[in-house]
Amino acid sequence: MKTSFLPFLMCILMPFYTVASLNPGDIVIIEYNASNPDQFSFLSLSDVPENEVIYFTDCGWSKDGLLRRSEGLIKYVVPQGGLSIGTVITYTADQKNNNGFTTTGIDGFFGLAQGGDQLLVFQGNFDSPVFLFGLNNLDGIWQDDATTTNSSALPPGLEIGKTAVNLSGGANASFDCTKIVKDKNQMLENISNPLNWNYSSSQILQASLCSFSILPIVLLKFEANVFENEVILNCQLGSCTNNSRVIIERSEDGTEFEIIFNEVIQGASPLVEFLTNDKRFNHSKYYRLYLNQQLIKTILVEGKMEADNWPLQPEEIGIISLFSADGRKIAETTCYGNELKIKADGFNQNLETGIYFYTVVNNNGKKVVRKFYKY
């Protein structure tokens, strides 16, 4: 009988891969408190699916390419429904095994030192981590090696100023809420800049109480369907945070708007869908959608009417105005009908890419609105 060692050898030689579904910067630390009880808060900058596992440790990264043992490890399991962009989760030592967290020791225990420490975020496992974010609060620098429980080298895959921050020391620090921006890359740079943090000798709770609803909103659908003299508006939003306010406005001319829908969404959700209607529709209308005072989209719905021509005859004088999509007047001038194109082209020269509206009014008060997109 022949004995084959090939399957055994293949098991030995096959590499072991660490699986991580998140990318560096998808999870970031925004609050760090070493004053008892220890506390930290993290922010999701991407949607995170349910049952995803994320680890936090105060073990430093050594020059040998391993996490230094003798401290703690915290496991967090994303709850049912997942985490939407802008969600803040807080860990406190006095509730260390609540809110999805499980705390264990790695030849030691989890505890943030008031004289300076590190907090590393990763997926995978302790022996083969894939790092998502790193915070170092010892002397304002990352060390060359993890020679003590309070020191750490910069873990692989992280970049200072983008996915790693070296704070200026002190027991407690919290990200400055006034530095919240919409763009993810800029947000990462702001969080990773130690000048954008507030420091205190006592526990500081600021960033964990901020609203991060300005973070990117995924618009899945904003459509309008005309049924005789009624418009049905269908809206689907992804990544809405709890208490997000949705506002829909209507306008006949694209300059003066009134609110037809204004509601607060209760409960964070990766998908929000709703319908509303405008029963007063009888000709062309503009509709625009706001989420937490941020303009998301403007659409034009045309009814069963003939399109108006510009109301100015070649030798007739009138007023041409230029408006942004949110109704802000950018420019206005008087002109003759035969000058309209020249005036419009002049308005266009220094505009940024986006949606704009022209209005033209003649001496009799007749107004026509034209929507255009500046490329």
**pLDDT over 90 percentage in the chain:** 24
Any bridge partners for residue 298, and if so which? 288
Q: pLDDT tens-digit profile of 245-297?
A: 788 888 876 667 888 888 876 655 555 666 677 777 665 578 888 877 777 77
Query: Would you state the pLDDT for residue 188?
Result: 95
Whether the CB-CB separation of 244 and 216 falls below 8 Å is answered with no
Under the banding of pLDDT at 50, 70 and 90, the label for residue 166 is: very high
With H, G, I as helix, E, B as strand and everything else as coil, classify residue 108: coil
The pair of structure tokens assigned to 234 is 């269908």
Rounded CA separation 41/150 (Å): 20
DSSP secondary structure of 307-335:
PPPPS--TT-EEEEEEEETTS-EEEEEEE
Rounded CA separation 145/159 (Å): 16
Pairing of strands 218-227, 197-200: unpaired
Query: Would you state the pLDDT for residue 1?
Result: 37
Q: Which of left, alpha, beta for 228 (phi over 0: left; psi -120 to 50: alpha)?
A: left
Which is nearest to 283 in space by CA: 260, 306, 312, 256?
306
Highest-scoring range by mean pLDDT, 46-55, 179-188, 206-215, 222-231: 46-55
CA atoms within 13 A on the CB side of 194: 19
DSSP 120: E
Query: Would you kindly state where each structural domain of the chain is located, as residue ranges?
Result: 12-209, 218-301, 317-374
- Judged against a pLDDT cut of 60, whether residue 225 lies above it is answered with yes
Mean pLDDT value across the chain: 79
Q: pLDDT tens-digit profile of 284-341?
A: 578 888 877 777 777 777 654 333 456 778 888 889 888 887 778 888 999 888 888 7
CATH topology of domain 218-301: Immunoglobulin-like (2.60.40)
- Judged against a pLDDT cut of 80, whether residue 82 lies above it is answered with yes
With H, G, I as helix, E, B as strand and everything else as coil, classify residue 98: coil
- φ/ψ of 186, rounded to 5, equals -70, -35
Task: Please provide the size of the chain in residues.
Answer: 375
3-state secondary structure 205-234: CCHHHCCCCCCCCEEEEEEEEEECCEEEEE
Rounded CA separation 277/291 (Å): 18
Highest-scoring range by mean pLDDT, 179-193, 212-226, 317-331: 179-193
- Those residues whose C-beta lies under 8 Å from the C-beta of residue 9, and which sit 6 or more positions away, are none
Q: pLDDT tens-digit profile of 3-41?
A: 444 443 334 333 444 455 899 999 999 999 988 888 999
Under the banding of pLDDT at 50, 70 and 90, the label for residue 71 is: confident
The pair of structure tokens assigned to 156 is 């692989």
- Which H or E run includes 280? none
Under the banding of pLDDT at 50, 70 and 90, the label for residue 375 is: low
Whether the CB-CB separation of 35 and 202 falls below 8 Å is answered with yes
**H helical segments located in the chain:** 6-13, 184-191, 340-348
Whether the CB-CB separation of 311 and 369 falls below 8 Å is answered with no
DSSP 267: S
CA atoms within 13 A on the CB side of 244: 27
Q: Which of 6-15, 162-171, 216-225 has the lowest mean pLDDT?
A: 6-15
In single-letter form, the type of residue at position 186 comes to Q
- Judged against a pLDDT cut of 80, whether residue 355 lies above it is answered with no
Tell me if the pTM is above 0.85: no
Q: pLDDT tens-digit profile of 99-146?
A: 889 888 776 678 888 888 889 999 999 988 999 999 999 888 898 998
Query: Would you state the pLDDT for residue 217?
Result: 58
Query: Would you state the pLDDT for residue 266?
Result: 60
- Those residues whose C-beta lies under 8 Å from the C-beta of residue 97, and which sit 6 or more positions away, are 103
Which is nearest to 286 in space by CA: 324, 315, 319?
324
